[in-house]
Amino acid sequence: MPRITAAITGVHGFIPKDIITNKDLEIMVDTNDEWIKARTGIEERHILRDPNLATSDMGAAAVMALLEKKGMSPLDIDLIICATVTPDYFFPDTGTLIAYKVGAKNAFAYDITAACSGFLFSATTGAKMVESGSYKNVIVVGADKMSTITDYTDRATCILFGDAAGAILIQPNEKGNGLLDSWMRVDGVGAEFLHMKGGGSRNPPTHETVDKKMHFLYQDGKPVFKAATKGMAEAVSEIMKRNNLSPDDITYVVPHQANLRIIQAVADMLKFPIEKVMINIQKYGNTTGATIPLCLWEWQDKLKPGDKIILTAFGGGYTWGASLWSWAY
């Protein structure tokens, strides 16, 4: 029997309409448009302002649009995996809330928390579920309402993040297209440099944790920058080495969008021309779980069956890795 491969067969994004520009941030903190553009590449980010809407609402919107485009019923979905660090609640998980909102009554669901690598890890996990032969229609969602954990008085972090969601459909493929390989790692040494201190079992919420701003994301940017550059370059080169690939064989690299300088440094280290790298950080900033599916959504019309792409990410944890896919449509 031929091996079942698991291919991405659709992608859709959701971007909230409200925008915070660099000029808007100049009024909020001691920063300026030139610094933000030069140090990060970000020009604006979208924010889900409505306090009644949360991460699952953005995820559900992306999934519903994806199903509509594919002409599929929500009843066809077997599994929804949601990558997020800003779940609606600790529990129930956001994947289950998305399944409820879209009417995926025949599905099971769960979340994967791996910070900015969440979508990368989830896509491999979803593909392996399809490869197993047990599940045929798997949806992987990357969704984050980063504005809810961003301290808009901290200029070191508030310039970086935005809100968005992206969803992919993974299905069996008979032509051998789909996930070809993946290489993923974690290292808890990174917890010190990128974390959210409060809210969990170590520092449960109290007046004090709120007063000390422990429910906001904390980042010491410099060490994370260095580790991210090294980590993504390592992951992509491991994947290329063990699959005997050169940059000429790859149509696009799809990096997590945290900082334009990190993306450029990784491309330089791997000798990838920048035209082969998907970059949209200028429009959305770092949307954590959503950056990679948003890139795929924007670039899908430029891809054709058989094109090889490499997804790569680095995030809090540390978590990092890369996966090689053969495009299916």
User: Catalytic residues, which ones?
Assistant: 116, 256, 286
- Which one of the spans 50-58, 124-132, 142-150, 221-229 is the region binding ligand UT7 (CB under 6 A)? 221-229
Cα 45 to its chain centre, rounded Å, is 15
- CB of residue 155 vs ligand UT7: minimum separation in angstroms? 4
- Which one of the spans 69-77, 83-91, 219-227, 319-327 is the region binding ligand UT7 (CB under 6 A)? 219-227
> Which helix (H) or strand (E) is 325 found in, with range?
strand 319-326
Task: Sketch the per residue contact string, 86 through 125, with ligand UT7: x for CB under 6 A, - otherwise.
Answer: ------------------------------x---------
Residue 232 is a binding residue for ligand UT7 (CB under 6 A): no
One DSSP character per residue, 126-176 reads HHHHHHTTS-S-EEEEEEEEGGGG--TT-HHHHTTB-EEEEEEEEEEESSS
Q: What is residue 240's three-state secondary structure?
A: helix
- CB of residue 35 vs ligand UT7: minimum separation in angstroms? 4
Residue 230 is a binding residue for ligand UT7 (CB under 6 A): no
Q: Which of 92, 176, 199, 221 binds ligand UT7 (CB under 6 A)?
A: 221
Omega before 172 within 30 of 0, i.e. cis: no
Residue 35 is a binding residue for ligand UT7 (CB under 6 A): yes
Residue 189 is a binding residue for ligand UT7 (CB under 6 A): no
- CB of residue 91 vs ligand UT7: minimum separation in angstroms? 25
Q: Which of 147, 259, 319, 326 binds ligand UT7 (CB under 6 A)?
A: 259
What are the residues whose beta carbons fall under 8 Å from the beta carbon of 274, sequence distance 6 or more? 264, 267
Residue number with CB closer to ligand UT7 (77 or 228)? 228
Residue 224 is a binding residue for ligand UT7 (CB under 6 A): yes
Q: Which of 16, 315, 317, 321 binds ligand UT7 (CB under 6 A)?
A: 315
187: tokens are 């290292």
CB neighbour class for 134 (10 Å; exposed up to 12, middle 13-18, buried from 19) = exposed
Omega before 318 within 30 of 0, i.e. cis: yes
**Quick one: CA dihedral 225, 227, 230, 232, positive or negative?**
negative
What sections of 183-315 are H helices per DSSP? 207-211, 221-242, 260-270, 281-284, 291-299
- CB of residue 83 vs ligand UT7: minimum separation in angstroms? 13
Q: Note the residues at the interface with ligand UT7 (CB under 6 A).
A: 31, 35, 39-40, 116, 155-156, 159, 221-222, 224-225, 228, 258-259, 262, 286, 314-315
